[in-house]
Structure 1
Amino acid sequence: MPSGTPPLSRALASDACPHGTWEVVRALPHPRLRPGVLGYRGYRMDLAHGRRRLELPDGCVSLVFNLADPVWVTLGTRHDAPALPYTTLLSGLQTRPTFGEHAGRMEGVEVLLAPWEAFGILGHPMADLADRMTDPAALLGARADLLAEALHEATGWPARFALLDDTLHTWAEATPARAADPLRHAWSELLRSGGGLPVGELALRSGRGTRRLEYLFREQIGLTPKTAARVLRFRHAVRLIGRSAQPLVDVAAACGFSDQAHMNRDFTAMSGRSPLRFRRERAASPPGPAWVDRVTGQVTSVVLPDSVSRS
C-alpha cells in the first residue's frame, strides 16, 4: 500500500485486558468489499498458560494469518484425530466442531468471508474445502505468503486492516470466478430464515431448478442446500442457547426443529456435546477473549478448562 494512504476499513470495536495480556480488535472492510467480506478480527495474547477453544460451525469461510506462534487445530471429535499446527489457514464451511490450541502467545488477523465471496476470491470449488482446513498457499500460491509477510511487517491494526482491504480487492479483481446472482440470493434467503426454508421453496425463490441450485451450492458454497440449512439452523440454536436461559424445548421450536430430540441430535453432531453441556461450558468460560466471538452477533466459541503447553 502506498505510504500515506489512509486506512480503508473502519474499526468496529476493541476489547483489551487492563493488564495488557490480550486484546481483540474488529473492523469492517472497505465498502467495495461488502457484503461478501464480512469482517476482520485482530487478536493478540500473551498469557502465562495455553488455552484450548471449541469452535463451532458458523456458516463462514475463515482465512487466518498467525503472526507469532502456530495454532494447533483438531477437526472433529474422533479421539485419534491429529492436532496439526497452522501458521496460516483457510477453513471452508464446517459441519463439525474444531478445537484450537495454543501455548499462550498469539498474534494475528482473521478474515471472515461469505462462502460465495470466498469462491470469487479463490476461484476454486468450495466443495473441496468443506469440512477441511488447508494452508491458503495451496490455492493462492506465493500471494498468500507475501500477504503474511506484509501483515507481519505492518505496524498497528489499522495498517493491517487497510492492507487486507487492498489485497482482497486485488485478488477479487484478478479472479475470473464470480458467484451467480441466483446463488447469492438463495444464500441470503437461507440466512434470513435461519436455515428454515425448504429446498424446494429456496429453488423457487432463486428462479432455478432444484438440481441446478444444488450444483451451485456445492460449487460456490461448499455444501448442499439441505446441509447448509442444517448448519444455519444449528447456528441459530447456538446463539439462543449460549445467550439465554430459554428452555431447550422452546429453542427447538424457535429454530424450526421438529422437536427437542431432533435439535439434540444435530447439536451433538455439530458441537460434540449436548445443548445443556454447551450452555454450562459457555457460562463457565473465563472472562476476556472467550466472550469476543469470532463472528459479530453470533456465539461461535468456548474456552475449555483444560489448558495446553504446546511449543
Structure 2
Amino acid sequence: MPSGLPPPSRALARDACPHGTWEVVRGLPHPRLRPGVRGYRGYRMDLGYGRRRLEVPDACVSLVFNLADPVWVTLGTQRDATARPYTALLSGLQTRPTLGEHAGRVEGVEVLLAPWAAFGLLGQPMGDLADRMAEPVELLGRRADLLAEALYEAVGWGPRFALLDETLRTWTEATGTRAAEPLRRAWGELVRSGGSLPVGELAVRTGRGRRRLEYLFREQIGLTPKTAARVLRFQRALWLVNHGGRPLADVAAACGFSDQAHMNREFRAMSGRSPRRFRSERGADLPGPAGVDRVTGQVTSIVLPGRVSRS
C-alpha cells in the first residue's frame, strides 16, 4: 500500500541488556502526527521468569499490541478478580494505579497519545475510557486486528513504527473527528502549569465559559479539568520526589498541594504508596529494564520485587 506520508528520518533510542534478554526501543512519530502522537515504544523481554510492574497515572492514552504472550492487568495494586489477560490494550486516562504481570516472555509495541489526539483517532467520547481499559477491537473494530497482524509480520522496530505512522494517519482521517481548538489550548496550558492552573483561569485564557470547558474536557480528554489537574500535579510531584532529593514538604509546596499530608494522600490514591515508599521501590536494584519508564521525561512505573509464575 503506498504511503500518504513521506518517510521520516527516524532515529531510534535503544536500551538493551548486553546478554540479549531484553530491549526497549523508542521512536518519534512522523512530524505530521505530532504533538498528538507523543511517541512509540517497542519492547522485548525473555527473562525466563515473570515480573510485576506497577503503573501510575501518566496523563496519556495508551494503545498496546502484545506480539508474544499476553500481559495480565489488574485495576489496583494487588491481583484480584479484575485481572484480565490482554494481547492488545487501549487504556484511557487513569486516576488510580494498575498492576501489570507477565510470565517472562513479552514483545510488543505501545503508542502513546495525548488524550485529545485519541479523541480524534477513535471518534468517540473519551469519558467512556476514563479509568478503564478495553480491547482495541471494541472501539476500533476489525482494523485493530489487522494492525496487530501487520505489526507481527513486520521485521524490525523501524518498519513497525513506520507502519504505525501510516495507520494512525489513515484512522484519524477516516473518523473526520477533531478536538476543539480551545480544548487543545486548555490542555496545553494545564500541562505547562503542571496542573497548578485554576479552572477559572483556564477558562479565561481559552475564552470559554467554565461549564463549556468542563463539557469539552469530559468529552475530549476523559476527565474534568479539576481531575486532570490532579493527575498532572501528581506527575510533577513524582518527578521531583524521584529526582533531586528535595525535602517532601518543599515538593508539596512547589507542586501546589495545601501541605505535605495532602500530597501523601494523593500519592496513596494514585500509586498505593507514600512518597518515601515509592522513591525507595524505584531505587531497588532489580535485574531487567527497571529504570525504563513508559513515557519519556516522566516517572510512570515501578518494577516490583519477586517473580511471577503463571502457566
Task: Specify if TM > 0.5.
Answer: yes
- The alpha carbon displacement at 1:133 in A equals 0.4
1:124: which partner in 2? 124
- CA distance in 2: counterparts of 1:176 and 1:186, whole angstroms: 22
- CA distance in 2: counterparts of 1:138 and 1:90, whole angstroms: 9
- CA distance in 1: counterparts of 2:170 and 2:274, whole angstroms: 43
1:233: which partner in 2? 233
- CA distance in 2: counterparts of 1:310 and 1:11, whole angstroms: 36
Q: Give deviations 1:102-145, integer Å, cap 9, x for gaps.
A: 01101000000000000000001000000000001001000000
- The alpha carbon displacement at 1:48 in A equals 1.7
Give the direction of change, closer, same or farther, for the CA distance of 1:167–1:283 in structure 2 (3 Å limit).
same
Give the direction of change, closer, same or farther, for the CA distance of 1:119–1:211 in structure 2 (3 Å limit).
same
TM-score for the superposition, normalised by structure 2: 0.97
2:93: which partner in 1? 93
Q: Give deviations 1:42-88, integer Å, cap 9, x for gaps.
A: 00000021000000100000000000000000012467442110000
Deviation larger for 244-253 or 85-94: 244-253
**Contact 1:38-1:113 at 8 Å conserved across structures:** yes
1:183: which partner in 2? 183
2:174: which partner in 1? 174
**Contact 1:73-1:99 at 8 Å conserved across structures:** yes
Q: Give deviations 1:230-250, integer Å, cap 9, x for gaps.
A: 000000011111223211111
Q: Give deviations 1:133-178, integer Å, cap 9, x for gaps.
A: 0001001000000000000000000000000000000001111211
**Contact 1:7-1:161 at 8 Å conserved across structures:** no
Q: Is 1:257–2:257 an aligned residue pair?
A: yes
- CA distance in 2: counterparts of 1:275 and 1:140, whole angstroms: 38
Please tell me the root mean square deviation across aligned C-alpha atoms, in Å.
1.5
- Could you tell me which runs of 5 or more consecutive residues in structure 1 were left unpaired when the two chains were aligned: none
- The alpha carbon displacement at 1:10 in A equals 2.0
- CA distance in 2: counterparts of 1:95 and 1:104, whole angstroms: 28
Give the direction of change, closer, same or farther, for the CA distance of 1:175–1:227 in structure 2 (3 Å limit).
same
Give the direction of change, closer, same or farther, for the CA distance of 1:47–1:7 in structure 2 (3 Å limit).
farther
2:58: which partner in 1? 58
1:211: which partner in 2? 211
1:223: which partner in 2? 223
Give, as a single letter, the amino acid of the residue that structure 2 aligns with 1:54.
L
- CA distance in 2: counterparts of 1:13 and 1:68, whole angstroms: 22
Q: Is 1:304–2:304 an aligned residue pair?
A: yes
Give, as a single letter, the amino acid of the residue that structure 1 aligns with 2:94.
Q
Alignment of 1:46-85 (within 5 A): 46-77=46-77, 80-85=80-85
Q: Determine helix, strand or coil for the equivalent of 1:160.
A: helix
- Could you tell me which runs of 5 or more consecutive residues in structure 2 were left unpaired when the two chains were aligned: none
Report how many residues are paired. Answer: 310
Q: Determine helix, strand or coil for the equivalent of 1:305.
A: strand
Deviation larger for 242-251 or 185-194: 242-251
- CA distance in 1: counterparts of 2:188 and 2:224, whole angstroms: 15
- CA distance in 2: counterparts of 1:79 and 1:288, whole angstroms: 22
Q: Determine helix, strand or coil for the equivalent of 1:231.
A: helix
Q: Is 1:145–2:145 an aligned residue pair?
A: yes
Give, as a single letter, the amino acid of the residue that structure 1 aligns with 2:88.
T
Give, as a single letter, the amino acid of the residue that structure 1 aligns with 2:58.
D
- CA distance in 1: counterparts of 2:164 and 2:252, whole angstroms: 39
**Contact 2:68-2:105 at 8 Å conserved across structures:** yes
* Identity between Structure 1 and Structure 2 (%): 79
